[in-house]
Structure 1
């Protein structure tokens, strides 16, 4: 796969985390498994009780979401993508026993009913906000363009404690992101900022459910 210098740098960063911590939450730069599971629950609010809609994940890491789906009784077909070839190799090994699951190297998913992404907008290194923001929005637009029913993604919140904010990370304004999503994709957008982590999750329904 051909990728930009920035994506190459990000892939190298996560390769280092994986080498240091293995197929764990810390291996994809999350604090612990508990917070990781909470993120998954919020992303899957998009899917709801749909038992068969296909799920694609951008930035799948070692396949923890796929394992979470099966562990919680969800049988939805799953396709994970990651820019790190090492992450993809690890996911294929660690999650080899899961049915209807596949992993591929890539920075954009194929069409699916639902497309989700967790943590892929966090690490921006020294890229200024004004340059990082178009990358974030462009990625979200790509996800929405390939999702038949909706997308979900999370971002670190600009309402984090100032003394704990890392200059290498991107912190987004929830209100500005909500305004942009509604302006770009329509009114069927939800934002969750109430689950105890310094982040928020956005759900965008590209084909909203009809009201009975």
Structure 2
């Protein structure tokens, strides 16, 4: 892997450990000679991850929409900064540039980016690893909910297993190195469940 996309908050969050995790991830990527790809902002966890990577001699690519540049939240001292017009273009460009995806703690935007990229993996649009850096158990409740989606037969177990989870960047990246994408076809699985449900009627 040469490029990792990081989804994370544009706010620092409540706990100091969130910013610390962003720093450690940025440093770890630089030490592993992995380019950080992210949303291009200078604030919050986003800016912290980028700064830490750059300070350790790493490369950072930002992708940001023009309206955020006009609001002066863009990090202008990056290795490369792509300015696009829409959020759809932003996410597509980050996906195109990246070999894997990590979500740090964040808000609605982070969750939306994470679940879209997971859905693309489920549908076979890409086969890149996706993971949660679960700092201070931030994602614990969401992980339990994802397990519920499997229990209730809305998500196939093999697709639940796409999500790599750890609270240490090094260990999460190690999991990425040995990741094997699911071979299951979602359409076949839905068809099988439908047949089982019909047989019970």
Higher strand share: 1
Of the two, which has the highest radius of gyration? 2
Tell me the TM-score normalised to structure 2 length. 0.47
Tell me the TM-score normalised to structure 1 length. 0.45
